[in-house]
Amino acid sequence: MDVLWSPWRYSYIKSDKETEPGCIFCDLLENPASDEENFILHRAGYNFVILNIYPYISGHLMIVPFRHLDDLSAASKDETDELMDLTKQAQNVLTEAYEPHGINIGMNLGRAAGAGVANHYHMHLLPRWVGDVNFMTAIGETRTVPESLRTTYQKLRGKF
């Protein structure tokens, strides 16, 4: 039997997402650790690009506004224009780095829509390959991520 390890997901699985104080994104920005330690790939004027530390697949990244906003309509045009420009740039970066067959791009607004961090909206980008979701996800409720976050960070850093 093969054993697939993804120990970084355990803290997320066991966390009480309903009662955690603060905001993970705002806390990261206030953390004195370096951007590399926090897996922040790029800081722009209104948004930043960061790896998802609980990735569904290698290269899973997010674009997050600096302002703590729970609703896309509360953002300024400058903030959303930059968000989309960074989304387009991230698509190009992921395509160059991973050569995926496609990319999922989207955001979940509100807990009922599936938002893991419902109080601070963010855009997800996930490279995808034909056949990347197989029996492991459907039957085993397990995802395989073939590279570490550190490797992904090194691969994508400096590309924005």
What HEC string does 53-121 produce? CCCCCCCCEEEEECCCCCCHHHCCHHHHHHHHHHHHHHHHHHHHHHCCCEEEEECCCCHHHCCCCCCCC
From the list 42, 68, 101, 122, the catalytic residue is 122
What is the layout of strands, in order, in the sheet containing 123-128? 40-43, 47-51, 61-65, 123-128, 102-106
Q: Quick check: is 122 catalytic?
A: yes
Q: Which residues are tagged catalytic?
A: 122
